[in-house]
Structure 1
Amino acid sequence: MPIPPSTIGCDLLFYHLNKLFKEQFAVALRLNDPSGQDRFESVTNLYFRQCHGALLLTDMTNPESLERLEQYWYPRLKQLSVNPVEVILVCTKLDLFEKQEPVYREAYLRRVEQFATKHQIPIVHVSAYRGDNIEYLFKRMIIQIMENDEIIDPLVAQALSCVKQKPVKKTSPCCL
């Protein structure tokens, strides 16, 4: 699996889910990466207000990243989001983590499990370098969102209202 280039900002990803659901769905994902830097705080606040799903990343080789996620990013997401939000805790750099000392790995996994259990968040371990669980991660997020009626029902209603709108009749031969 080729590794996509890193981005700062957002990308639009279309994902076809005909194998995951009885009906065929085309899902558009907008991925926003605020890169974890405070200088993007105002943009991040906007992302949090509009999101329906959040992938919270922690670097498994850096315990401070989990601490920052626990003390800053997760509380901010909960505080700023106006929509129901599906969350997945993504433990990154699995390939490097596997090379760490067993004592470190056990302690880190215990902390991750405690955080995830406390907030009822699923965990996915990934390696972007090897491509481990990347596709699974996105499929899982899409499924979680699509199975959450609090998220999907308003979106479906909004989409149907756009489709059912009557076309505007032209009153003049000019273009509008």
Structure 2
Amino acid sequence: MALSEDGSHDDYLFKIVLLGDSGVGKSNLLARFARNEFYSNSKSTIGVEFQTQKMEVNGREIKAQIWDTAGQERFRAVTSAYYRGAVGALVVYDVSRRQTFDSVGRWLNELHTHCDMNVITILVGNKSDLKDAREVSTAEGKSLAETRSLFFMETSALDSSNVNAAFLTIVTEIYSILSKKVMQSQELKKDPSIGSKKTVVLDPKQDANNEEKKEEAPKKSWCCSS
């Protein structure tokens, strides 16, 4: 949880990162989700950009802070600071460019180099509106997602297909895991033999060897295409 400027409690703030080759539409996915905008002539810029979007999950207000590499991936200059504190990731490829699909493994390896293996990840096949130019089938995307234990969805930032659903899916899953952690913490606090107050946060680097998390991560399988 976090304190807002007036001293009241916001519910949750989740950092989510966008990954993928330059030109796959990451910035337009973020623009469509956060502002319902699309830029047909958008160009890569250098730096890091993020948008904070409020969402409601199970009656809780969630703030999703979504980070975009903003062109850094062209120079493979995405630094560890970009990943720091991330609890979710969208790994994006362009369904009309097979090369971007072939790069997914590299982006996943980089993500797991800087974050815990249990960071919630969704594989996103963007530009599903380019049906005549498609080079990567829905079945191929789904198969890769199942192999790597990822969520999967095809989207179109151009016509808005599944954009909101992709972000809602990842935020809902993060919230679900956090809720379980909070419940476990409350149970621990009832046991007088356990040390006093313990803050529970959704930290991808903690509990890496926890058996429950080992069981949860590989079983996640969810997909949706346009």
| Common topology (TM > 0.5) | yes
1:28 corresponds, among 54, 63, 78, to 63
C-alpha distance in 2, partners of 1:79/1:39? 14
CA distance 1:158–1:67, shift in 2 (3 Å): closer
Change (3 A) 1:145 1:64: same
> What is the Cα-based RMSD across aligned positions, in Å?
2.9
Aligned to 1:126: 155
The answer to whether the 8 A contact 2:38-2:158 is kept is no
Aligned 1:49-64 pairs, distance under 5 A = 49-64=84-99
Per-residue deviation, 1:32: 1.2
Paired with 1:151 and 1:84, the residues of 2 have a C-alpha distance of 15
Q: Match for residue 133 of structure 2?
A: 100
SS at match of 2:160: coil
1:12 aligns with one of 40, 51, 64: 51
Alpha-carbon distance change, 65 to 85 in structure 1, aligned in 2, over 3 angstroms = same
Structure 2: distance between partners of 1:150 and 1:65: 35
Q: How many residue pairs get matched?
A: 146
Taking a change above 3 Å as real, the CA distance of residues 139 and 68 of structure 1, as seen in their structure-2 partners, is same
Normalised by the size of structure 1, how large is the TM-score? Answer: 0.70
Q: Runs of at least 4 residues of structure 1 off by over 3 A?
A: 4-8, 149-154
8 Å Cα contact 1:10-1:30 kept in structure 2: no
Aligned twin of 2:122: 88
**How far is 1:83 from its partner?**
7.5
Letter in 1 for 2:142: E
- Give, in angstroms, the shift of residue 78 of structure 1: 1.2
Deviation at 1:26, TM superposition (A): 1.6
TM norm structure 2: 0.56
| 1: CA distance, partners of 2:179 / 2:109 | 21
1:30–1:52: structure 2 CA closer, same or farther, 3 Å change rule? same
**Change beyond 3 A, Cα 1:48–1:158:** closer
Alignment match, 2:174:
145
CA distance in 1: counterparts of 2:201 and 2:152, whole angstroms: 31
Higher radius of gyration, 1 or 2: 1
**What is the match of residue 47 of structure 1?**
82
What is the CA distance between 1:84 and its match in structure 2?
A: 3.4
| Alpha-carbon separation, structure 1, partners of 2:82 and 2:117 | 11
Q: Which has the higher mean CA deviation after the structures are superposed, 114-123 or 79-88?
A: 79-88
Match of 1:165 in 2: none
Percent identity (aligned): 17
Would you tell me which structure has more helix in proportion to its own residues? 1
Letter paired with 1:85: V
C-alpha distance after superposition, 1:65-87 (max 9, x if no partner): 011112x1011111210483100
- Give 1:28 deviation, angstroms: 1.5
Q: Hey, what does 1:117 align to over in structure 2? A: 146
**Any stretches of 5+ residues in structure 1 without a counterpart?**
160-176
Q: 1:157 aligned to 2:200?
A: yes
CA displacement, residues 89-130 of structure 1 (integer Å, 9 cap, x when unaligned): 01100101x2237xx45xx33432221111111111111000
Question: Is the partner of 1:128 in helix, strand or coil?
Answer: coil
Q: Is the 8 A contact 1:50 1:82 kept in 2?
A: no
